[in-house]
């Protein structure tokens, strides 16, 4: 089951950008979490099936 990253940290990043606030650490954690989520879904997908990142 995919994580709801855009609803959690993605919303924080979007709001910060709108307000002109730099949040590099949140962006880094968000990117790492998206990668871990994509890798986890790729491992659980049937062989030969593609997983959208």
Domain that holds residue 17: 1-53
Instruction: Please report the pLDDT score of residue 29 as a whole number.
Output: 96
Rounded to whole angstroms, the Cα distance separating 22 from 44 reads 35
Q: Give 48's pLDDT tier (boundaries 50, 70, 90).
A: low
pLDDT in tens, 7-46: 889 999 999 999 999 999 999 999 999 999 999 888 876 7
pTM equals 0.71
Token pair for residue 7?
A: 């609803």
Burial 35-53 (b: 16+ CB within 10 A, else e): eebeeeeeeeeeeeeeeee
Instruction: Please report the pLDDT score of residue 19 as a whole number.
Output: 98
5: pLDDT strictly greater than 70: yes
Domain total of the chain: 1
């Amino acid at each position: 089951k995919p994580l709801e990253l855009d609803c959690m940290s993605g919303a924080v990043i979007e709001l910060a950008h709108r307000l002109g606030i730099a949040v590099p650490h949140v962006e880094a954690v968000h990117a790492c979490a998206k990668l871990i989520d994509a890798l986890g879904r790729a491992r659980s997908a049937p062989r030969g099936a593609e997983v959208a990142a």
